[in-house]
Amino acid sequence: MTHKPTPETRALAEQLSAYGIPQDDIAKLVKVSPKTLREHYAEELETGSIKATAKVAGALFKAATGTGQGAITAAIFWMKTRAGWRETSNIEHSGSIDGASSVQIYLPDNGRNDAQTPNGTSGTVSS
């Protein structure tokens, strides 16, 4: 038996995709196999996620450019994620720590091509 999508099942697939529901779970709710879901609802699965991201981005932009509660937090988040802003720390040290002859300090990635740290992030190593 061939599956025939309806406007209701198309809307449901798009909405659930927008919420980030896994495709296997969407297929169960639409009452089709995951393969049939992908064959008949590919556009809804793709656009649902895009529309949700756009809606959240719009709300964040509105909050970041507004004056209401949370505007500063939203603006800082926007600048960190979209404009490359970052928080920095200055570390000063003199003397030794527990008799150690050297200290290694790993700083966050600052866009330079410095030494690779043990945890895989770029940083500056000083001793």
pLDDT digit string, tens, across residues 22-36: 999 999 999 999 999
What pLDDT score does 92 carry? 74
10 and 44 in contact (C-beta within 8 Å)? yes
123 and 115 in contact (C-beta within 8 Å)? yes
Whether this model's pTM surpasses 0.85? no
**Strand-pair partners of 116:** 122
Percent of the chain with pLDDT over 70: 73
Whose tokens are 């809307």? That residue is: 11
Name the DSSP class of 82.
H
**Minimal CA–CA distance to 18: which of 60, 57, 47?**
47
pLDDT at 117 exceeding the cut of 70: no
> pLDDT for 20-74, tens place per residue?
999 999 999 999 999 999 999 999 999 999 999 999 999 999 999 999 888 999 9
Q: Which amino acid is residue 73, in one-letter code?
A: T
Lowest mean pLDDT among 79-88, 103-112, 114-123: 114-123
**Strand-pair partners of 122:** 116
What pLDDT score does 127 carry? 46
The domain segmentation of the chain, as residue ranges, is 7-63, 89-127
Tell me the C-alpha distance between 76 and 66, whole Å: 13
Tell me the C-alpha distance between 87 and 111, whole Å: 13
Exposure string (b/e) for 58-68, b if CB count within 10 Å is 16 or more?
eebeebbeeee
What pLDDT score does 87 carry? 81
118 and 125 in contact (C-beta within 8 Å)? no
Structure tokens that stand for 74 in this block: 């939203």
What pLDDT score does 26 carry? 97
